[in-house]
Amino acid sequence: MLKELRPALVMTAALTVITGLVYPLAVTGVAQGLFGHQANGSLIVKDGAVIGSELIGQPFTGERYFQPRPSATTGPDPADPAKSVAAPYNAANSMGSNLGPTSKALVERVQADAERLKAENPSAPVPVDLVTTSGSGLDPDLSPAAADFQVPRVARARGLSEEQVRRLVEAHTAPRLLGLLGEPTVNVLKLNLALDAAAAGR
Amino acid sequence: MTALGWFQILLFAALVVAVTRPLGGFMTRVFTGERTVLTPLLRPVERGLYRLAGVDETAEQHWTAYAVAMLLFSAAGMLLLYVMQRVQDALPFNPAGMTDVPADLAFNTAASFITNTNWQNYGGESTMAYLVQMAGLTVHNTVSAATGIALAVALVRGFARSSARTVGNFWVDVTRCTLYVLLPICVVYALFLVWQGVPQTLGAYVDATTLEGAKQTIALGPVASQEAIKMLGTNGGGFFNANSAHPFENPNALTNLVQMVSIFALGAGLTNLFGRMVGDERQGWAILAAMGVLFFAGVAVAYWAEAQGNPAFAALGVDPAAGNMEGKETRFGVALSALFATVTTAASCGAVNAMHDSFMPLGGMVPLINMMLGEIIIGGVGAGLYGMLLFAIVALFVAGLMVGRTPEYLGKKLEAREVKMTMLAVLCLPLMMLGWTAVAVVLDTGTASMANAGPHGFSEALYAYVSGAANNGSAFAGLTGNTLWYNLTIGMAMLVGRFFVIIPMLAIAGSLAAKKRAVASAGTFPTHDALFVGLLVGVILIVGGLTFFPALALGPVVEHLAMNAGTLF
């Protein structure tokens, strides 16, 4: 038993150094050199300030912007840090709602959102991703249907034609990879940036 | 369900089958000590490690010495990981200023990572400092995987050898697996992930000011290096709380596909290693075929259930076409979420790209069943193969009883000792899974943690112990696991689920190695054909069904019936 103790201790220490320090630090070095933008979080910088990440959804509440899916992330309560309160798109605390399919709380939430959306755009069925929270709470994307659904509202709020806004949505719709893998998506932050740019250029 | 969804599922399966032989061949060379392309580069490191540790690489171990080495190695690792978490505030690489982890949570996490479970009662980005993520969690992702593979190889040697006393050298197996198999793949894999958008930095979290002027703190870190081994080693412990649903862990459809293939890759390769080492590759393919039958059955049910969508939503005017999207990411949709859930629980990975807690009742039942069966469908690296071989022993024992003949597997007579040890290993899992669930649901402290009411709340507790004992690590994450009760009991379930399977399994390896190999005759039951595959699948389903149907009936089955009747909780 004692004879076996030496390899146990030495191997634990040595493999910790190799797999826990050498490996991640070497990968960090190479990654920073080769893929600096991605390695640091694919950040979007505008006028010298970080406005977000291409990959991380952010909250939009105004009518003038395309709004993302609901998010179930929470953050510490400012009044009592031991408690947590709803904080949508908190990118330092990713999580889903974890509500099961027969949850009353889930169905009531969906009902409230669906009624609000139906009032906003009665012409189309409500896309399911607009009333469901994502797994991470940080989903950067909408389905094309969910973006299209918001076109009339955004056009109205910005005084643009629906046709103009719809063209922007189409330009920012990423198809399935090779037409086969994954689902088509619309990156909300990039679309909203393009919307602002279009307004500024007008 | 769509044709494109099924195409992606079949593409995934084809890729797994495609990597099985090359990886099996490579691993066989590594574990038999043959030269590989990496030998010139890594052999000096390997030799240096043995010299430092005082290991004689030519000296093989009896199964008991192999077991003692494995236990000491696990104990040393667990202690180190526990201490690191308890003092992380005082250690370097902690830009977010994470405080020391409480004792019960640190115990649970240490047990979780040395057993290759990676159950997470903590939120990564809100609890763990970078140093613990790297030098604690990443290390155990690697060495617990290497340990699992080493153990499977020891069992395979038991079948392959004849009249032998030893089953290999634990230190050599773990070192070779880490250096030649896991690390080289991980380096390439991690860089691929960074290229696709996964962060890899030691810099602090970034504060962004959103377009609407709100402040958003974006958590970052050395994510890619942990992500690579998390999938390849079937660990599943995410850098972030949301795991592979987080866009920084799994940014797009390509990373998603590669992640799924990498969960199965080594486990599938090990079936081929088994075939090669016992001198008949067909034996490995037969095992893989039995795994494949169970896998496709699971994926079909999960995909079907998720594509249906929630009937309660349809009544509210929500378009049901995209299926059940609660807890799922837009870029993956229902097909890839259902596939990922089946893969991650068939193997003992436990990474998730969608929240299983929000799956449809029958969709969420598939991961549960996969884990209850003991994760033998590919399974954890190593653990899946030895789990499946244990079931093969049961199947052959049953077949032997039917014809009144002493069962044999690969020329080795299976006698009372092997069958008793197998049953010990097979029975300790349901004891942990069902026993703790039964206690938890009658205690106030157990039910207080449930996020959902009704049968779904029961499923949450059941899922926790099933996942813990099976060393999976995925969760119905609504359950608040970070309580004294769940930290301690799930921690215990994980340790028992790992080591009370391993010890009897090593005992079987030792006794098989000592046996003579009988020559195949006309009376030998062939173990490489469809009849054997059918028998094996049948035995797995009968053992699993008899053990777990009552628990499933109380959870997902009742919930499904209630949902269709329009009942909410």
Reported as a pLDDT band with limits 50, 70 and 90, residue B518 is: confident
CB contact under 8 A, A28 and B225: yes
Closest CA to B304 of B290, B324, B278: B324
Distances (CA, A) of A184 to A175, B198, B353: 5, 20, 17
- B238 confidence band (pLDDT: 50, 70, 90): confident
At B134 the pLDDT is: 86
> Which residues 97-126 of chain A have a CB within 8 Å of chain B?
97-104, 106-107, 110-111, 114-115, 118, 125-126
Q: Do B80 and A177 make contact, defined as CB atoms within 8 angstroms?
A: no
Tokens coding B469: 């004992």
Residue B554 · residue B455 · CB < 8 Å: yes
- The beta strand positions in chain A, using DSSP E, are 43-46, 49-53, 74-76, 84-86, 141-142, 173-174, 185-187
Nearest to A183 among B54, B171, B333 (CB): B333
Q: Which of B452, B476, B453, B454 is nearest to B465 (CA)?
A: B476
Does A52 reach chain B within 8 Å, measured CB to CB? yes
A47: left (phi over 0), alpha (psi -120 to 50) or beta: left
Q: Which of A30, A131, A143 sits opposite B330 (nearest CB)?
A: A143
Q: Are strands B206-209 and B215-218 parallel, antiparallel or unpaired?
A: antiparallel
Average pLDDT of chain A is 94
Chain A residues in contact with B77 (beta carbon < 8 A) = 12
Residue to test with chain A: of B130, B144, B186, B325, most A Cβ within 10 A:
B325
| ipTM of this predicted structure | 0.96
Q: Which of B61, B41, B315 is nearest to B179 (CA)?
A: B41
Higher pLDDT: B251 or B92? It is B251
Cα Rg of chain A, angstroms: 22
CA distance A156 to A151: 8
**CB-nearest partner of B125 from A52, A92, A177:** A92
DSSP-based helix, strand, coil % in chain A, nearest 5: 50, 10, 40
d(CA B362, CA A195): 42
Q: What is the pLDDT of chain B when averaged over all its residues?
A: 94
Closest Cα partner for A136 from A89, A101, A67? Answer: A89
Give the pLDDT confidence score for residue B380 in this predicted structure: 84
Of A19, A55, A138, the CB nearest to B139: A19
Determine which helix (DSSP H) or strand (DSSP E) holds B409, and give its type and residue range.
strand B408-409
Quick check: B367 pLDDT over 60?
A: yes
Q: Which amino acid type is present at position B465?
A: Y
pLDDT digits (tens, 9 = 90+) for A155-170: 999 999 999 999 999 9
- Do residue B322 and residue A58 have CB atoms under 8 angstroms apart? no
Q: Note the pLDDT of residue B126.
A: 82
Largest CA distance in chain B: 79
Non-local (6+) Cβ contacts of B345 within 8 A are B366, B367, B368, B370, B371, B375, B472, B474
Q: Which pLDDT tens digit goes with each residue over A9-63?
A: 999 999 999 999 999 999 999 999 999 999 999 999 998 999 999 999 999 999 9
C-beta atoms surrounding B151 within 10 Å = 27
Q: H or E segment at B208?
A: strand B206-209
Interval A90-114 mean pLDDT: 95
**What is the crossing angle of helices B455-469 and B361-372, to 10°?**
30
How close B529 comes to chain A (CA, Å)? 34
* pLDDT value of position B480: 92
**Which residues from B are below 8 Å from A99, CB to CB?**
326, 357-358, 451-452, 478
In chain B, % of residues over pLDDT 70: 100
**Measured distance CA(B495)–CA(B470) in Å, rounded:** 10
Query: Is the Cβ–Cβ distance between B421 and B534 less than 8 Å?
Result: no
At B565 the pLDDT is: 94
**Which pTM value belongs to this model?**
0.95
The predicted structure's pLDDT at residue A201:
65
Query: With 70 as the cut, is the pLDDT of residue A1 above it?
Result: no
Residue to mutate among A2, A3, A4, with most B CBs inside 10 A, is A4
In angstroms, the separation between the Cα of residue B352 and the nearest Cα of chain A is: 9
Residue contacts between A and B (CB atoms, under 8 Å)? 390
pLDDT value of residue A202: 57
B374 in Cβ contact with B400 (< 8 Å): no
**Domain limits, chain A:** 2-37, 42-71+99-200
CA distance B262 to B257: 9
Which residues 6+ apart lie within 8 Å of A8 measured at CB? B69, B72, B73, B75, B76
> pLDDT tens-digit profile of B377-406?
988 888 888 989 999 999 999 999 988 888
Closest Cα of chain A to B334: distance in Å?
9
Average pLDDT (B267-285) is 95
pLDDT band at A135 (very low <50, low <70, confident <90, very high): very high
Kindly report, residue by residue over A69-96, the tens digit of the pLDDT. Answer: 999 999 998 888 888 899 999 999 999 9
Residues of A in contact with B240 (CB under 8 A): 94, 136
Nearest residue of B to residue A191, measured between CA atoms: B211
